[in-house]
């Protein structure tokens, strides 16, 4: 029920779990701008405590010592709303459920948890009439969760694709703009703080895959987990691949994609060549962008910083203000609509294009043999370029040709079979640079 004006609370109490870069920035704003936030919320927000692992640990941001505690459970019990910014699966899952089961709204940026247990957490929120909010879990400061959840809820989304990881975008952008190798670009990303000491989650695509699972579920009104996402990272991308893409008018990006196909919804994270004229091609450095294609709205792009304490805290605080408005008004929570139940499918039925590079002997009949395999499998070639190769260490002393092929769109399964058949030809010494292409035929 909605509170009568004279029964609305004057103060709303907030528990903050986590004091890293994002948590510290959220705490700073709550402590420095309570009156300004109160005018938006309708009650004064009070940060009653910050749960941390070690209250005596050195921190880059100074926080009031009296607010620090290791007793997260008591803090949750005393709060009206909870902000969870600790990351990981446990104890974050247990703590969020504690708050939701008590009817307290939760704001989280925990993409790993949401991509594993989002359905369970949402069901707990719905059962107690509260909300689970997580704008910060996908693309940092970019407002994408709420537009998909609310603004586009009356439209039919066909596809969501985007650059959802700033680390990999920085690496690929450096390779494209400076000619750097993957290893050199990664080292520079680590030096600048774009990449962690262990960059596996980023460069193998797992971080982006979690975001695709979350965003795909919202876009297609169904539940998905990270296990539903086909994932390939960027470790195998070479400077030669990047240069070949450039010479053909493309740039390589790690794209997260959720799209409607005949058998359900395909979710994938793959290195992809996109035309330099595409809006996503102009996304540089550590920035993110999400491109939405829908029946009514047609094409929309959301762009901005995908990480960082300040930008991510902005998304957290937006969710928090929205959640606290409902606390003050006493209204029920509004969760995602997930009644469509569209199944997650594999990549076999996805319509896509491939780019590949063949090393062959420079002799008559090679192109005819390759073209014959494509024709046999019902896959047509969009472009083909041949360059002479001399003194290649793979076949010393031979006159060689490098053949770069971009296919027309076809079923992924048909393309894979075609590539394997081409690889088996006697006149194909090596097949490399196999990358998906995002382009209109």
Active-site residues, by number, are 211
Pairing, β 81-84 against β 44-51:
unpaired
Please give the structure tokens belonging to residue 75. Answer: 């803090």
Tell me the C-alpha distance between 3 and 423, whole Å: 69
Pairing, β 430-437 against β 264-275:
parallel
Which segments of 86-238 does DSSP mark as H helices, in order?
92-101, 111-128, 145-146, 166-178, 182-191, 200-203, 206-220
**Hey, what's the torsion of the CAs at 139, 143, 146, 150, to 10 degrees?**
-130
Question: Is 20 annotated in some ligand binding site?
Answer: yes
Question: Is 104 annotated in some ligand binding site?
Answer: no
Question: Is 129 annotated in some ligand binding site?
Answer: no
Question: Is 23 annotated in some ligand binding site?
Answer: yes
Question: Is 133 annotated in some ligand binding site?
Answer: no
Contact criterion met (CB below 8 Å) for 335 and 122: yes
> Phi/psi of residue 73, each to 5°?
-65, -45
| 111-133 burial code (b ≥16 CB/10 A, e <16) | bbbbbbbbeebbebbbebebbbb
Question: Is 11 annotated in some ligand binding site?
Answer: no
For residue 387, give the 3-state DSSP assignment: strand
Please give the structure tokens belonging to residue 196. Answer: 């962690």
> 45 - beta bridge partners?
12
Please give the structure tokens belonging to residue 201. Answer: 């989650």
Tell me the C-alpha distance between 263 and 344, whole Å: 8
Please give the structure tokens belonging to residue 41. Answer: 């919320």
Residue ranges for the known binding site are: 17-24, 111, 196
Residue ranges for the known binding site for NADPH are: 111
Residue ranges for the known binding site for NADP(+) are: 17-24
Residue ranges for the known binding site for L-homoserine are: 196
């Amino acid at each position: 029920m909605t509170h009568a004006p004279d029964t609305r609370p004057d103060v709303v109490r907030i528990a903050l779990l986590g004091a890293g870069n994002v948590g510290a920035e959220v705490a700073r704003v709550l402590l420095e701008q309570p009156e300004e936030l109160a005018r938006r919320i309708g009650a004064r927000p009070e940060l009653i405590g910050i749960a941390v692992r070690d209250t005596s640990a050195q921190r880059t941001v100074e926080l009031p010592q009296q607010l620090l505690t290791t007793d997260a459970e008591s803090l949750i019990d005393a709060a009206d709303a909870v902000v969870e910014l600790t990351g990981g699966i446990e104890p974050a899952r247990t703590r969020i459920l504690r708050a939701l089961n008590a009817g307290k709204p939760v704001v989280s940026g925990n993409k790993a948890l949401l991509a594993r247990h989002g359905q369970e957490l949402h069901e707990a929120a719905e059962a107690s009439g509260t909300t689970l909010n997580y704008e910060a879990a996908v693309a940092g400061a970019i407002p994408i969760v709420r537009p998909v959840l609310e603004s586009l809820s009356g439209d039919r989304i066909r596809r969501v694709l985007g650059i959802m990881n700033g680390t990999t975008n920085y690496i690929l952008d450096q390779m494209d703009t400076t000619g750097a190798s993957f290893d050199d670009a990664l080292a520079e990303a680590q030096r600048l703080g774009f990449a962690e000491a262990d960059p596996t989650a980023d460069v193998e695509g797992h971080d982006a895959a979690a975001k695709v699972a979350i965003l795909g579920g919202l876009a297609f009104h169904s539940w998905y987990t990270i296990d539903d996402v086909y994932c390939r990272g960027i470790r195998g991308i070479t400077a030669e691949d990047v240069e070949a893409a450039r010479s053909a008018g493309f740039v390589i990006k790690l794209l997260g994609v959720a799209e409607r196909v005949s058998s359900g919804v395909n979710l994938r994270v793959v290195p992809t060549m996109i035309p330099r004229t595409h809006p996503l091609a102009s996304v540089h450095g550590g920035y993110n962008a999400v491109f939405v294609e829908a029946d009514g709205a047609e094409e929309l792009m959301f762009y901005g910083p995908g990480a960082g304490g300040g930008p991510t805290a902005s998304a957290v605080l937006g969710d928090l203000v929205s959640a606290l408005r409902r606390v003050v008004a006493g209204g029920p929570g509004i969760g995602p609509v997930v009644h469509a139940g569209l199944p997650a499918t594999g990549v076999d039925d996805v319509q896509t294009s491939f780019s590949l590079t063949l090393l062959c002997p420079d002799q008559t009949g090679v192109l005819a043999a390759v073209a014959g395999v494509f024709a046999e499998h019902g896959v047509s070639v969009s472009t083909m370029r041949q360059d002479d190769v001399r003194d290649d260490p793979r076949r010393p002393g031979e006159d060689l040709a490098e053949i770069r092929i971009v296919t027309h769109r076809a079923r992924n399964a048909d393309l894979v079979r075609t590539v394997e058949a081409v690889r088996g030809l006697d006149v194909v010494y090596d097949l490399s640079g196999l990358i998906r292409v995002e382009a209109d035929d």
